[in-house]
Amino acid sequence: MEYKDLISRIKSVRNYKKDAISSEVIQKIESYFTKSKKLIKDIETEAMIKNKDEVYDKLKNIAGYNEKMIDAPHYLIFLSEEKDHYIENTGYVVQDIMLKAFELGVGSCWITIHDTDVIKKKLNIKSKKKLTALIALGFDKNKKKVLYENTSEYNPTKAQVSIVEDNVSERPRISDVVYMNKWGENADPDEIANLGLLEAFFYARLAPSTKNRQPWRFIYDNGTVILAVRKDPSINGYESKIDTGIVMLYFELIVDGTLFDIDWKFGKPSKEYEIPSDYSIVAYCTV
């Protein structure tokens, strides 16, 4: 896949045409389920695509921001074995499937889920695995993505309002999300470019996140990239872990495509970084 191109153009689709996706395209997406990238290879997963009549009415006041279910012609349902970091793995795998769908012309949107066992029961899914993602799928009715670069200080409230109400995708500058050596030292893009990491951070910053809160910050320290994620009171652990898995995918896709393969490790490196109490270090990798 041409990941850079796909990542720059993909956006959350909330307004779908009524048209169903052809069975050939559905099959192509389904056949990608087994080929998709995986963050943790030994976690067994399962995915299925269901039609609107099997899903929408059943989840109408249950799933989505403020229980506002997205009306789409199809839904992707993803299930996973419950092992360490299975939710981050879900974010990573499912976003890769969404990129594949987008390459095939199919729009998508994550739908927030709370009590996943209730959803599984409502959808009459018998699998023993945990339902870990619900995604709307179909053809986009709206105009193309408009990407606004934040020129002022990063302002999560502004970002939330603009994205959810106007369907635009605002993102902070690279220097606002990447720190050099220690927390708060905004990175100079020229320095990042010299390290060969400018593109990786440029595209990682485009990762979708719950309520577009863009919770990720990176510290580059002497060949190690440390990923920290903000804890927001309005966001539950599930959403935060999905956001983490997605940004890990985006960063890795670009580094793997331009430099060499990286291997994310969960947890903190041995060195202590003094980060604010509302953030926690979730993973790191050597670049």
Ligand X SMILES: Cc1cc2nc3c(=O)[nH]c(=O)nc-3n(C[C@H](O)[C@H](O)[C@H](O)COP(=O)(O)O)c2cc1C
Complex with ligand X: residue 161 or 262, whichever CB lies closer: 161
Per 3-state DSSP, the chain is made up of helix, strand and coil in percentages (nearest 5) of 35, 20, 40
Find, among 87, 101, 206, the residue nearest to 146 by Cα: 206
Complex with ligand X: residue 13 or 180, whichever CB lies closer: 13
Contacts of 260 (CB under 8 A, 6+ apart): none
Shortest Cβ contact with ligand X: which residue? 208
Complex with ligand X: residue 122 or 268, whichever CB lies closer: 122
Complex with ligand X: residue 167 or 224, whichever CB lies closer: 167
Question: CA-to-CA distance for 181 and 46, rounded, in angstroms?
Answer: 40
Kindly give the pairing relationship between strand 130-138 and strand 147-149.
Answer: unpaired
For the chain, the C-alpha Rg in angstroms (whole number) is: 18
Kindly give the pairing relationship between strand 265-266 and strand 178-180.
Answer: unpaired
Q: E-strand spans in 232-278? A: 265-266
Complex with ligand X: residue 203 or 220, whichever CB lies closer: 203
Q: DSSP state, 22?
A: P
Residues found near ligand X in the complex (CB under 6 A): 11-12, 14, 64-65, 70, 109-112, 163-164, 169, 208-212, 239, 242-243, 246
Helix axes 23-32, 86-103, angle to 10 degrees: 140
Complex with ligand X: residue 29 or 88, whichever CB lies closer: 88
